[in-house]
Structure 1
């Protein structure tokens, strides 16, 4: 088994992404122009945002209210907001392919990610899924093979959800195919996988995933999903289901109402299942009278 190297929360001076009150130095903000184009900026004193519309000083945005409108030197306007997690996911630096918001929401529901839940995630990629689960209140342990991905995920998470959530996040450099180390509590409540061969993890789930726990795999290919389902069945996991999520927006302009010509269709299949209890259970024999009525 590979020797784990743990990355704790990064300390890069990134400010907590506030949720209320005026915009602060170090916050990420979203600038939106009159054509709904979006630009992500980190507020820094004495710096400017430059675009086709002319410069806009960060100092004018620091201390402003979210939703306020500001003019550039050319007289064009930008509206400033705090970005949503979805905005940050689309704009975050990445090495690996990011899991997009249309799948992040369903993953949180299917895996039942909630406050206090202990999650093993492998691999962490750019940290988009990690950030979503941390924001939902989970404690996340990540397994990642590449050091550059692990460091980028830690930084993206800190910028997306702030230091309190980042304190519940660790990333270990290790191969989940070789095994799973149990946390202090004796097991994980959830195992979430974004790997080429998630079926290789299934033999390690017994003992690592608590009874009643949920495993979920994100797989681009249906053949990956099929092989994962086969491994789940052989290992005795139950309630397995595979689905995909399609995202189609609509044009709504007065009387012109129709689906948009483009949509975000297939990205990946989501397969989830539950771990049954390993405890021996002795059921009382059925009553003879009940059997007779059933036979009749």
Structure 2
């Protein structure tokens, strides 16, 4: 660890504190303080204590840690959902993926890591304040140089045909941009929509059928994590849990022909 790196301290109760290491910097706690220089000297994976004896473990923050703690203009896509979206899109290094609704950049970070430095992420966001926050959050954590931010409405975008290996939409009305996506998404590749309520899911699928768009509905799911508090001999679920966050709708792009336009949702 060195100056400029992110550091994460965890106390005995599991509470975490994320900050960037700076020359002359001090981590202040209600039971003492720790110099950043001392944290660097101790190193990640070790322990350090305040003069009053409050003990912390030192870590390099994971992407999950950063997304949960980073500054935000909008509620970020939770890591459990962002990781699942990458899985549902079947992303691999070198692929090109399109995102709309950058928000605070949580999903953008996961997409950028999934496609790697040789891949590309195009991220559309109509709100300048959100776009700038997403750009800063990306750059301050780990900028792979593979993200292009675009301020604008995806419904009005002219996208290169058959250019994207996946599309992720975090929009209130994703059906309003589907006409722009269809030509740009490669055949047999995936679109995933992040939707907070079930009414949006139903409306999306109805619109696909009504507009006769070339998508197969592969599945709709929600990601639920149940963490446990285990302190032998006692074990029970943690009292504070992250419950429902969103439904993830996975759609597969198929070839558009006269024979298959009426049964695209299954």
Give the TM-score, by structure 1 length: 0.81
CA-CA distance at 1:205 after TM superposition: 2.2
Task: Show the counterpart of 1:156.
Answer: 137
- Residue 207 (structure 1) aligns with: 183
2:159–2:180: 8 Å Cα contact kept in structure 1?
A: no
The separation in 1 between residues aligned to 2:39 and 2:3, in whole angstroms, is 9
Structure 1 residue 108 displacement after superposition = 1.1
Equivalent runs, 1:101-120 vs 2, <5 Å:
101-120=79-98
After TM superposition, give the deviation of residue 120 of structure 1 in Å: 0.8
Q: Which runs of 5+ in 2 are unaligned?
A: 260-266
Give the superposition deviation at 1:238: 1.2
User: 1:273: Cα distance to partner?
Assistant: 0.7
Matching residue of 2:218? 240
Separation in 2, partners of 1:242, 1:71: 47
1:59-138 equivalences in 2 (<5 Å) = 59-136=37-114, 137=116, 138=119
Counterpart pick for 1:267 among 221, 245, 256: 245
Long gaps (5+) in structure 1: 1-22, 282-296
Distance 1:280 1:200, change over 3 A: closer
Question: RMSD over aligned Cα, in angstroms?
Answer: 1.9
Moved more, 147-156 or 121-130: 147-156
Q: 1:73 to 1:261 in 2, by over 3 A?
A: closer
Once the two structures are TM-superposed, the CA of residue 251 in structure 1 deviates from its matched residue by 2.5
Structure 2 counterpart of 1:190, from 166, 170, 178: 166
CA distance in 2, matches of 1:259, 1:55: 33
Conserved 8 A contact 1:211-1:276 = yes
Query: Following superposition of structure 1 onto structure 2, how do residues 273-288 of structure 1 map, counting pairs within 5 Å?
Result: 273-278=251-256
Displacement after TM superposition at 1:168 (Å): 0.3
Measure the CA separation in 2 of the matches of 1:107 and 1:72.
Answer: 41
Q: Structure 1 stretch 129-138 or stretch 119-128: which is displaced more?
A: 129-138
Taking the aligned partners of 1:249 and 1:62, their CA distance within structure 2 comes to 31
CA contact (8 A) 1:211 1:278 kept: no
CA distance in 2, matches of 1:130, 1:180: 21
Give 1:135 deviation, angstroms: 1.1
Deviations 1:157-197 (A, max 9, x none): 1222x23x1x10011111012234228xx521111100010
4+ long deviations beyond 6 Å: none
Tell me the equivalent position of 2:123.
142
Q: Distance in 2 between matches of 1:63 and 1:274?
A: 51
Counterpart of 2:16 (choices 38, 41, 45) is 38
Q: 2: distance between equivalents of 1:77 and 1:169?
A: 39
**2:205 is the alignment partner of 1:229:** yes
User: Hey, what's the Cα distance between the residues in 2 that align with 1:241 and 1:182?
Assistant: 27
